[in-house]
Amino acid sequence: MHTTQPQDRIDSLDLIRGVAILGIFIMNIYSMTAPDIAYSVPGWREDSGTVDDWIYIIQSLFIESRFMSLFSLLFGVGLAVQWERMAQRGVEPGHWIKRRLGWLLVIGLLHGFFIWFGDVLALYAICGFFVIRFLHYSVRRLVTTGVTFLLIGQLFLGYTLYSSLLTGENLMQVPELPFNQEELAQLRATNSDLWARTVRNMTENTFMLIVMPFISFWFSTGLMLIGVALYRIGFFSNTKVWRWALPLWVLGFSWGAGVLSLRYAWGLESSAAQATISLMMIAGSLMAIGYASLLVPLAQSNHWLVTWLRETGKMAFTLYLFQSTVTVLFFSQIAPDLWGSLNRLETLLIVIGATLLQIGFAHYWLRYLGQGPLERLWRWLAFRGMPRR
């Protein structure tokens, strides 16, 4: 049966979210199908070549941090929208949104511990508890606080970058590269062992939660606050925001190109180059808003591709968990010999196929079954018992 969506949804948010959830997989897949370092070093394999380098360059300039930044912006917008709509209905927002964030934290921890150590749901939940404390701020205070948070987030890795250059020590703990076949075989065996994978996930996820206050918390919370500010000024419903795109792209691209140049100058496998991930987040933030400024006007289109991407955005929560669960299980249990054996181009071809599959899956699920399965579950867990007013 065909179900309709609520009429008060903001179409541009669904479109941007759909593009973002597909975009983040382009980077995340490398830490699901190969050793973690494959995410940021194209030459981690003995037989890597020029094609790997060029794909890495394109990803660094147009994808790295860009789509995750979009997702962070939209998470802040989602909190603000929910808060306003609950208040308008006469429901106390604080209790129910905290409950929603609490369940997101639980789901994120389960995902991070048992599926993939790179989970961001727990991070977003923790950031969300802080963001709702700032929702009463004016637009100016939201922007200044958000920018301040982004700058604070640079301090820890900035210190690591400086110390790596000064001392020459491997503070980012980059493994000796490239991996030889014996080392790769050992890593592959560990990856296919469910117990070993779980222990590794728990260890690395716990470490990420410990270092979160120093790096990712400030970055994500800052972008969420900026997202709320953009929502308050009507950015996501203004069809003329396309004018923002070019200056933001120029700034973001220039900054990103500078960071990439430093990486190559210091050596991609160096601790200093790996510490520049925080610097690339600045480029990601600027270009993410630039991407959004072009997607907002497109959201008004009835073109089938725009419609299907909006539907993808409505199932972003399900698709995020779908991406990691299917990919990790396939490369660790179904076809473990493929783990660590693909180059960047082959991995990118998998992403293209997975992208088409996700778009089609979202379209037909919403058309015949309504709300996404995990969206429905999360909503039920968070809002069951909410009074109707």
310-350 tens-digit pLDDT: 999 999 999 999 999 999 999 999 999 999 999 999 999 99
Residue 183 lies in a domain: yes
Number of domains comprising the chain = 1
Residue 2 lies in a domain: no
Residue 193 lies in a domain: yes
**Side-chain-facing half-sphere of 94: CA atoms under 13 Å:** 5
Contacts for 21 with CB less than 8 Å, ≥ 6 apart = 67, 71, 312, 313, 316, 319, 320, 323, 358
Query: Which two tokens mark 295?
Result: 């997607």
Residue 257 lies in a domain: yes
| Residue 133 vs residues 136, 228, 383: alpha-carbon distances, Å | 7, 12, 20
Confidence at 385, pLDDT banded by 50, 70, 90 = confident
Residue 64 lies in a domain: yes
Residue 164 lies in a domain: yes
Single-letter code of the amino acid located at 241: V
Dump pLDDT digits (tens) for 251-283: 999 999 999 999 999 999 999 999 999 999 999
Helix (H) or strand (E) holding 366, with range, is: helix 344-369
Give the distance from CA 19 to its chain's centroid. 11
Dump pLDDT digits (tens) for 117-161: 999 999 999 999 999 999 999 999 999 999 999 999 999 889 999
Domain range holding 84? 11-382
Q: Is the pLDDT of residue 1 over 50?
A: no
Residue, of 4 and 327, whose pLDDT is higher: 327
Rounded to an integer, the average pLDDT of 276-304 is 95
DSSP secondary structure code for residue 335 in this structure:
S
Residue 6 lies in a domain: no
Rounded to an integer, the average pLDDT of 43-63 is 95
Residue 389 lies in a domain: no
Q: Return d(Cα 92, Cα 65) in angstroms, integer.
A: 35
